[in-house]
Amino acid sequence: MSLRLKNKGFFLIFFIFILDQFTKYLALKFLWPDKVIKVLPFFNLVYVENTGTAFGMFKFLGSAFFIILALITTAFLVYLLFRDSENWLVYSLIIAGALGNITDRVIYGYVIDFIDLHAGGFHWPAFNVADSAITIGIVLFLYKSFKK
């Protein structure tokens, strides 16, 4: 991996990580415990403590399990980041998101989610900036994989 791409990747990781932690801090400060801010007809800001994984699933496995799994996955992605410079953006997004959510689990024992998208009475499970980065990274990875 060239030094230029490495710097771009680590800058992106750092930027998303800081943005994620800052927005979670704001959610904790202004939305906790049960305030809802209606931003648009389909978008609210809420405060949710997610002890599970995506969509709150697998809560019974506990935070330690998710921290260990995320650390192993992140280490592997850092390895891939150095080995596969063509996909630096994909790996950087996923690494940044994983680090943001790992930080929450270590500090709080859960992940802070605050973005609530909904249509009528259907609410998508709340999520955060880290989740968005992970999702975008995975979608880009799948797109690139199927494009080949």
Overall number of domains in the chain: 1
| Residues carrying an active site annotation | 113, 131
Tell whether omega for the bond before 33 is within 30 degrees of 0, i.e. cis.
yes
Q: Residue 6's pLDDT is what? A: 79
112-144 residue pLDDT tens:
999 999 998 899 999 999 999 999 999 999 999
CA 131 to chain centre: 3
Residue type for 43, please?
F
Q: Count CA within 13 A, CB hemisphere, residue 29.
A: 6
CA 19 to chain centre: 11
Q: Answer for the pair 101, 73: CB distance below 8 angstroms, yes or no.
A: no
Tokens of 5: 């791409």
Query: How much is the pTM?
Result: 0.92
